[in-house]
């Protein structure tokens, strides 16, 4: 007996489904406009292979012309724990977001003047799984030096305006990551601590860094409320008061509330950068625009 009419209809429907183009999904992200370069640091020159990382530097298209003519600010982004060992997390790797896109949008919209963004990407599992031991003794001076070398002939960096950003586990190790940058010869123009562990014993380290360095500590409690936040803020404010800094010193504590995004911890990165980079770097003026 031949196939039934119902069977033929079902077969025809299946063939149509198999040959039809895929259904349209979410709109694709626009192309990232700019130049990305990667480099590797193995730590062998100082006898510490545990400090190895891969570096990635990004020059937004809207920055390129200006950066050849005059030095531009550098944003150094340090990612948090990375148990999946994803290369270049927050710089094109992973699904949390892409700092390159956040910064490029700010430059293109003239919310900030042209900048370059660079980031180390931890490669050794021992240095990326535990937040309190991640980024052992990160060397900001060496990272910036390598970044400048990679950009030779492409962009010039203003070493007086290096902004260091640390997210999550990047700010948990007292001797590494974000907190290690406080000991650099190069004084960061600003430090942004974004939703880190905020252990009370790290509060004075951030608060008492050179008064010329602007320090912003930003956090949320939608998804991470189990930290000693009261003790941290008390220790931070006490240290600032006792230091007697000049009136123009910037020491900000910012608790972000009412975050609507499904992943508040990750959402803190774009929220903080979009809020503070225009205040720290400033907008492009028409006279200075390229």
Give pLDDT tens digits for 214-258: 999 999 999 999 999 999 999 999 999 999 999 999 999 999 999
Whether residue 48 lies inside any domain: the answer is yes
Average pLDDT, the chain: 87
Whether residue 12 lies inside any domain: the answer is no
Number of domains in the chain: 1
β-pair partners for 78: 166
Torsional sign, CA 165, 267, 259, 275:
positive
The CATH number for 193's domain is 3.40.50.1820
Would you place residue 283 in the very low, low, confident or very high pLDDT band (cuts 50, 70, 90)? confident
Whether residue 8 lies inside any domain: the answer is no
- Choose among 33, 153, 132, 4: nearest CA to 80: 132
Helix, coil or strand: residue 38:
strand
pTM beyond 0.85, yes or no:
yes
Domain residue limits at 256: 36-281
**What is the C-alpha separation between 290 and 281, in angstroms, rounded?**
17
Whether residue 127 lies inside any domain: the answer is yes
**What is the C-alpha separation between 101 and 119, in angstroms, rounded?**
14
Kindly state the greatest CA–CA separation across the chain: 96
The pLDDT score that the predictor gives to residue 122 is 83
Whether residue 18 lies inside any domain: the answer is no
Q: Which residues contact 263 (CB under 8 A, 6 or more apart)?
A: 96, 223
43-82 pLDDT tens trace: 888 887 777 889 999 999 999 989 888 999 999 999 988 8
93-129 pLDDT tens trace: 988 899 999 999 999 999 999 999 999 998 776 666 6
Cβ contact 228:196 at 8 Å: no
Whether residue 20 lies inside any domain: the answer is no
């Amino acid at each position: 007996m031949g196939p039934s009419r119902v069977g033929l209809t079902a077969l025809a429907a299946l063939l149509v489904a198999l040959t039809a183009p895929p259904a349209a999904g979410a709109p694709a992200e626009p192309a990232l406009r700019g130049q990305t370069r990667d480099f590797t640091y193995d730590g062998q020159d100082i006898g510490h292979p545990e400090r190895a990382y891969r570096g990635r530097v990004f020059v937004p298209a809207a920055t390129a012309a200006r950066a050849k003519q005059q030095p531009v600010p550098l944003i150094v982004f340090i990612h948090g724990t990375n148990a999946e060992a994803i290369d270049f997390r927050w710089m094109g790797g992973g699904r949390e977001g892409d700092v390159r896109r956040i910064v490029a949008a700010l430059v293109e919209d003239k919310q900030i003047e042209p900048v370059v963004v660079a980031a180390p990407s931890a490669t050794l599992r021992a240095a990326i799984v535990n937040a309190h031991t991640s980024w052992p003794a990160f060397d900001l001076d060496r990272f910036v030096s390598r970044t400048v070398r990679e950009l030779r002939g492409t962009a010039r960096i203003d070493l007086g305006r290096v902004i260091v950003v640390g997210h999550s586990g990047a700010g948990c190790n007292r001797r590494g990551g974000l907190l290690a940058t406080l000991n650099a010869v190069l004084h960061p123009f600003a430090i942004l601590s974004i939703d880190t562990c905020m252990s009370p014993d790290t509060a004075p380290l951030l608060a008492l860094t050179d008064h010329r360095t602007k320090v912003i500590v930003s956090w949320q409690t939608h998804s991470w409320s189990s930290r000693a936040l009261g003790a941290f803020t008390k220790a931070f404010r006490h240290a600032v008061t006792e230091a007697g800094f000049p009136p123009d010193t910037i020491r900000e504590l910012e608790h972000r509330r009412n975050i609507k995004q499904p992943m508040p911890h990750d959402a803190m990165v774009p929220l903080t950068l979009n809020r503070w980079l225009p205040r720290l770097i400033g907008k492009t003026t028409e006279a200075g625009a390229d």
